Structure 1
Amino acid sequence: MRKIYMIATLSFILIAGMFISNQQQKPSSLLPTVASSNVEELPVVGDDQNLKRLLSEVESNQAGTRHSVGMVGGGLPAADSSSAIKSAVSASQNLSAESGGVAYSGTNLQVEGVDEADIVKTDGNYLYQISNDSKNGNNPQVIISKINPASDLKVVSRLEFDSQEFKPLEMYVDSKTLVVIGTSYERMDSAVGAMGGPVTEMLVYDLKDKNNPQKLREVKLDGDYVSSRKIGSAVYFVVNKYIDYYRILKEDQAPIKPKYYDSLCQESYKEVNFSEIHYFPGTIEPNYLMIAGMDLDHPDKEAKVSTYLGSGRNIYASTSSLYVAMPHYEFEQSALTQEPAVEDAISRMPANITTQIYKFGFNQGEITYQGKGEVPGQILNQFSMDEYQGYFRIATTKGEIGATSGNESTNNVYTLDQNMQESGKLEGLAPGERIYSVRFMGDRAYMVTFKQVDPLFVIDLKDPKQPKALGELKIPGYSDYLQPYDENHLIGIGKETVEAALPSGPNGQQQTMAFYLGMKLAMFDVSDVTHPKELFKETIGDRGTDSEVLRNHKALLFDKEKNLLAFPVVVFETKGSQQKEVSLNTPPQYGEITFQGAYVYNIDLEQGFTLKGKITHVKETSQKYRIDQAAIQRILFVGENLYTVSPGKIKVNDLKTLDEKGALDLQ
């Protein structure tokens, strides 16, 4: 399970580890070029000898073990902040409309106008779904189904891939194009003498004929997929290519150049020369960071690829800027003398952890490097970052949870200016705890930390040079995700918890720890920023209850105008002898599975959370285990119909009554 219980002495570095994923040929003269940009300020690697020199800094100064990266005051100004908060709510709803005016829901987004790839997408008439079900020997697929009208549900086409060659991960859909992003593994490329390894692919299909989509383009980048974004017609994706610097330095292995491929203008992979690879002085990472941009509205333009000696784990994007963040570890010199075989998080505890942020501008597929910043501590996820009115804001946790050696964890917010230099900071929040969720909304930020109880902090960012905490609310449990509702209310989705006593410590001091229970929904009222309060609360099930929305915001369907909140859930409940009170060293009991499907709520500021109904794809009347094929992954609406999507089925229910109107088996 993701969280069993929190012990005060648990090391921050271990917790952080949980967060550590018809070709058209053209002449070779049209090979993709490294994006022209204002990177003159960044030096280039130049040649293999200089690369070796740079990598030698990794041994002496490097901030980490050998690693491969995979993954308010009295209120807000009425004009600016209201607009920003409405944008945050609109981003989450991401509503679109067909030409006929039928509204449908899109992916739950962080930023309005910045699309995020997902495993399920719709254009209001068709549903696109990635299936990686291999239990029955099925190959990976993208299934395209007609869903509107609901009376004529049918699969119209399947894009099937060889499981040994390509695994689709997520996709984008617009009125003309389907973009599928996935991974493959390339063997030794004798043409360029490069070793094989993981490759990130972007496949572009023409959707003019949904019954027979045609592949237009294929772009491949050498390395592991980090993430992507789509702004208008432009798609950008980020990959990491790990450099085995130990073998290069100790075994004199020839350095490998990163490579890429664009079917528009290439017949084979093209290596990126060292003269085209930039690096960040003072912070050398044994990794190539590659960013590709492509404008789907201009299919005759080659992909723009930029390559850096660097890496990334999380990304945040506004409509004009891309930020790539990566933790940077600094070790005591004594720890760096150990051989790689004995390196681990215990024997090589970092003396300091910071987060480095690379800023890039982009426009219609063009990418430009704009600066680099660094802040103490490390982030939780993409929601720890935000851009607003020219400033970049970031929330971090620094130190170790429960540390007694002077390195106790604290939680912080930093603001950086357009040049990525620190403008302001707020440090020292919730000592001994770590961040569980963050949401930036205009001139405010909301932060949830946790160790024993759930403090919700309201942070004023009106003056970016002087962030300040305005108020906090301490309640049992925690929120893994914060969903904007309106400018004065937000929804917390997480787990309920209960405290239990531990045996007394060596000095006789009584200690406690927190055990998680069932799922928890909370409506927070922040009208009075100095005294936020929990307006409504809803608990679901007992210990063991779980939902993908706790880890992935894209699994949530929220629409304020429809008073609609829905998400997939697996419910566990305790019965009979399982229902015991928590006592010394006795954790609450896990329940038994009683439901697998989706919960659909009405939500408003008068009644709070009202369970409207439950939808399941499970056929058995009684079940003892989760059924993967029946696991609802996404929920969406088109017009007055609600659709639930699992690997084995699409089901449609009336949005108002939840009466079933039809189902489509996908097997």
Structure 2
Amino acid sequence: MKNGKVVILTLLISLSAIAMLCAKVEYGTASLNKFKSYEELKEFLQNRRDSGTYPYSPFLKSFGLLELNTMNDYDYSKTNIQVEGVDEADIVKTDGDYIYVISGQKVVTVKAYPAEEAAVLSRITFNGTLKQLFINGERLVVFYESGSWSEAQTFINIYDVSDRKNPVLKSEIAVDGQYFSSRMIGDYVYVVIRKAASLVEGEVALPKIYSEDGNRVIPATDIYYSNIPDYGYIFTTIVTVNVLEDKQEPNDETIFSGWTTNLYVSLENIYLAIGSGDRTVLHRIHIENGEISIEADGEVPGYILNQFSMDEHEGYFRIATTSQMASLPQDPSGIILHLQNNVYILNM
């Protein structure tokens, strides 16, 4: 899915006629650019607001998947695994011997194996809304939010849990915006955070990142945008951290686009899916050993159900969508709606 024209192999499956059509088509002339200045970003947002496409705030969530894996000489379950080698955060995680669970405003560590030794070992209390967590060996990663919707911050806390009775905070990073989702590949965690784009007294509040090395505003000239129009705009920031490093400056990239509603992550790419009326806008971000780079975007007709509507196979990105079409019958009593399922294969 390169900048410019996107070649798509389209498979249309009509629910009404059960007919199939397979063809190569050209769809979209999307391109990614960075803003040249803060003034250009502000003008971009003002133009969208004046056109009546601002703001846009759908509330959609992805679903999870339960998969069983084997470790040592006994079994335990891992949650939310869509792609082998790409872990997904959850409210409960286990390494086989211990269970780490979010309970209210606490993260509780429980000795789980062997069963006769089961016991609560520690509780960490947070001043905010706990979202999800990861466990990586003796490192616990916790995501939580603080603040109201418009002023929310997402915190990424990393703990040393080598002594399960006494977790030690080793790193804390905060990013303006709401937590959306995250993945862990090896020792690197990739976090997606969404911040509403707003004009306050005529100025745009750019997202900020807070870490041990200091606070910084993400400059407008580092923010990407697409020429694909949308109903509303937010800042979507992808942050990556190494769970084994105590103090670090995270890598990050930010896209100024519509509201990200679904996410698919392979070992090499993050795909952000944005529902935009009768189409889905896509952004591809390449990832490798904690490095991230925004590389391409495009769009396909229809809307997707959830993250399991997308996958990557042998260098191609596949996405299943549903389109809704209306027909006017001879009887003017009403409009007939037809649903059509589509499968698009995009050449990256």
Give the TM-score range, shorter chain: 0.7 to 0.9
Counterpart of 2:78 in structure 1 is 106
Aligned to 1:369: 294
Q: Determine the C-alpha separation between the residues in 2 that align with 1:282 and 1:409.
A: 25
Paired with 1:169 and 1:402, the residues of 2 have a C-alpha distance of 44
The answer to whether 1:296 aligns with 2:243 is yes
Higher gyration radius (CA): 1
SS at structure 1 position matched to 2:39? helix
Aligned partner of 1:410 among 330, 340, 346: 340
**CA-CA distance at 1:409 after TM superposition:** 2.4
Counterparts of 1:40-59 in structure 2, within 5 Å, are 42-59=32-49
The number of residue pairs the alignment matches comes to 307
Structure 2 match to 1:509: none
Tell me by how many angstroms 1:300 deviates. 4.8
* Equivalent position of 1:67 in the other structure: 56
- SS of 2:147's equivalent? strand
User: SS of 2:34's equivalent?
Assistant: coil
Secondary structure class of the residue paired with 2:203: coil
User: Residues 330-356 of structure 1, C-alpha deviation per residue, up to 9 Å, x if partnerless?
Assistant: xxxxxxxxxxxxxxxxxxxxxxx1100
Query: Is the 8 Å Cα contact of residues 93 and 100 (structure 2) preserved in structure 1?
Result: yes
Q: 1 CA distance for matches of 2:34 and 2:295?
A: 16
SS in 2 for 1:219: strand
AA of the residue aligned to 2:39: Q
- Indicate the SS of the match to 1:53: helix
Which of the residues 213, 217, 221 maps onto 1:275?
Answer: 221
Instruction: Check the 8 A contact 2:316/2:346 in 1, yes or no.
Output: yes
Change (3 A) 1:206 1:119: same
Deviations 1:395-436 (A, max 9, x none): 111126998647532111111011xxxxxxxxxxxxxxxxxx
2:211, 2:248 within 8 Å by CA — same for their partners in 1? no
SS across alignment from 2:45: helix
3-state secondary structure, aligned to 2:264: strand
The alpha-carbon distance between structure 1 residues 205 and 400, as it changes in their structure 2 partners (threshold 3 A), is farther
Q: Look up the match of 2:262.
A: 314
> Which residue does the alignment assign to 1:93?
67
Summarize the alignment of residues 491-570 of structure 1 with structure 2, pairs less than 5 Å apart.
Answer: none
On the 8 A contact 1:70/1:240 being kept in 2, the answer is no
Partner of 1:178: 140
Partner AA of 1:150 in structure 2: A
1:324-377: CA deviation from partner (whole Å, max 9, x where unpaired)? 000123xxxxxxxxxxxxxxxxxxxxxxx1100100111121111121120001
Q: Calculate the aligned-residue CA RMSD, in Å.
A: 2.4
Pairing 1:260–2:209 present: yes
Aligned to 1:158: 123
Q: In the aligned structure 1, how far is the partner of 2:58 from the partner of 2:251? A: 23
CA distance in 2 between partners of 1:211 and 1:301 (Å): 25
- Check conservation: 1:221, 1:260, Cα contact below 8 A: yes
Render the CA deviation track for 1:438-497: whole Å, top value 9, x for unaligned. xxxxxxxxxxxxxxxxxxxxxxxxxxxxxxxxxxxxxxxxxxxxxxxxxxxxxxxxxxxx
The one-letter amino acid of 2:115's match is A
User: Where in structure 2 are the equivalents of 1:587-626 lying within 5 Å?
Assistant: none
CA–CA separation in structure 2 for the residues paired with 1:400 and 1:183: 40
2: distance between equivalents of 1:254 and 1:65? Answer: 15
Cα pair 2:326 2:336 within 8 Å, conserved: no
Normalised TM-score (structure 1):
0.44
Letter in 2 for 1:314: N
TM-aligned CA distance change 1:402 to 1:143, over 3 Å:
farther
Q: How does 1:364-443 map to 2 (within 5 A)?
A: 364-399=289-324, 405=335, 408-418=338-348
User: Helix, strand or coil for the counterpart of 2:190?
Assistant: strand
Does the CA-based 8 Å contact 2:48-2:54 persist in structure 1? no
Give the structure-2-normalised TM-score. Answer: 0.81
Aligned partners of 1:396 and 1:413 also within 8 Å: yes
| Aligned counterparts of 1:214 and 1:198: Cα–Cα separation in 2 | 25
Distance 2:54 2:225 in 1: 20
Indicate conservation of the 8 Å contact 1:96/1:106, yes or no: no
- What is the alpha-carbon distance in structure 2 between the residues aligned to residue 167 and residue 145 of structure 1? 21
Structure 2, gaps ≥5 residues long: 1-30, 329-333
Per-residue CA distance 1:601-657 (angstroms, 9 max, x = gap): xxxxxxxxxxxxxxxxxxxxxxxxxxxxxxxxxxxxxxxxxxxxxxxxxxxxxxxxx
Q: Residues 94, 221 of structure 1: CA spacing in aligned structure 2 closer, same or farther, 3 A cutoff?
A: farther
2:317–2:345 Cα contact (<8 Å) kept: yes
Q: Distance in 1 between matches of 2:68 and 2:251?
A: 28
* TM-aligned CA deviation for residue 386 of structure 1: 0.6
Q: Is the 8 A contact 1:384 1:395 kept in 2?
A: yes
1:78-115 Cα offsets, whole Å, 9 max, x none, are: xxxxxxxxxxxxx95341414xx333221141111111
Contact 1:178 1:204 in 2 (8 A): yes
Distance 1:408 1:93 in 2: 35
Structure 1 pair 106–375 and aligned structure 2 pair: CA distance change class (3 A): same
Structure 1 spans left out of the alignment, 5+ residues = 1-40, 72-90, 133-139, 188-195, 330-352, 419-667
**1:325–1:358 CA contact under 8 A, matched in 2:** yes
Distance of aligned partners of 1:44 and 1:235 in 2 relative to their CA distance in 1, 3 Å threshold: same
Structure 1 residue 126 and structure 2 residue 98: aligned?
yes
Alpha-carbon distance between aligned partners in 2 of 1:313 and 1:384, rounded to the nearest angstrom: 12
Q: Percent identity?
A: 34
In structure 1, the partner of 2:109 is 144
Task: Report whether the alignment pairs 1:220 with 2:174.
Answer: yes
Deviations 1:522-578 (A, max 9, x none): xxxxxxxxxxxxxxxxxxxxxxxxxxxxxxxxxxxxxxxxxxxxxxxxxxxxxxxxx
Following the alignment from structure 1 to structure 2, what is the Cα–Cα distance between the partners of residues 61 and 114? 40
8 Å Cα contact 1:45/1:274 also seen in 2? yes
- CA shift in 2, pair 1:400/1:222, >3 Å: farther
Q: Distance in 1 between matches of 2:326 and 2:245?
A: 50
Contact 1:69 1:240 in 2 (8 A): no
SS at match of 1:237: strand
Deviations 1:130-155 (A, max 9, x none): 001xxxxxxx1011011111112110
Answer whether contact 1:236 1:293 (CA < 8 A) is retained: yes
* Residues 70, 224 of structure 1: 8 Å contact kept: no
Question: Which structure 2 residues correspond to residues 622-637 of structure 1 after superposition, within 5 A?
Answer: none
Q: 1:363 and 1:410 mapped to 2: Cα distance?
A: 36
Does the C-alpha gap of structure 1 residues 259 and 297 become closer, same or farther in structure 2, counting only changes over 3 Å?
A: same
Q: Match for 1:291: what amino acid? A: I
Q: Which has the higher contact order (CA 8 A, sep 6+)?
A: 2
User: Cα distance, 1:53 vs. partner?
Assistant: 2.2
Residue identity in the other structure for 1:181? F
Normalized per residue, which structure has more strand? 2
Report matched runs for 1:193-208 at 5 Å: 197-208=151-162
